[in-house]
Amino acid sequence: MKALLITLTGMMLFGCMTRSAMMTHEHFNDIPIGMSIAKVEAISGKPYAIHTKGPGQAEYEYIEKIDLGSGLIYENHYYLMIVDEVVTKKRYEYETLPSYDFLYSDDPNVFNNY
């Protein structure tokens, strides 16, 4: 019984510590132009979306969500232009949520008369 309890506790701890591959700012910066998309996916996992741009061309979109426990703070969107299975361009967008989302429930312009 004690061995089972120790095993289950260990599995829970290691299960919480493992993380699947995902795109981070560091991974994005380490991707050189000319890298194969297979290597990118091995490092950062599958993209959030693939946008077809033409024959043999696609834009891979990865999203990194940064939260502060109870809510999303901001998102980083990473885009890789792929031509013939090789990265040819990279771009990055940073999105923040409106600050009133953290302070007010629905609309900061509505006055509740109590």
- pTM value? 0.65
- Domain holding 49, by residue range, is 20-103
Give the chain's domain count.
1
Q: What is the mean pLDDT of each run of 10 residues along the chain (114 residues)?
A: 57 44 85 95 92 93 82 85 96 76 55 50
Does residue 42 lie in a domain region?
Answer: yes
CATH number of the domain at 84, please.
3.30.1450.10
What local confidence, expressed as pLDDT, does residue 19 receive?
Answer: 41
Rounded CA separation 55/58 (Å): 8
For the chain, the distance separating the N- and C-terminal CA atoms, rounded to the nearest angstrom, is 58
Does residue 84 lie in a domain region?
Answer: yes
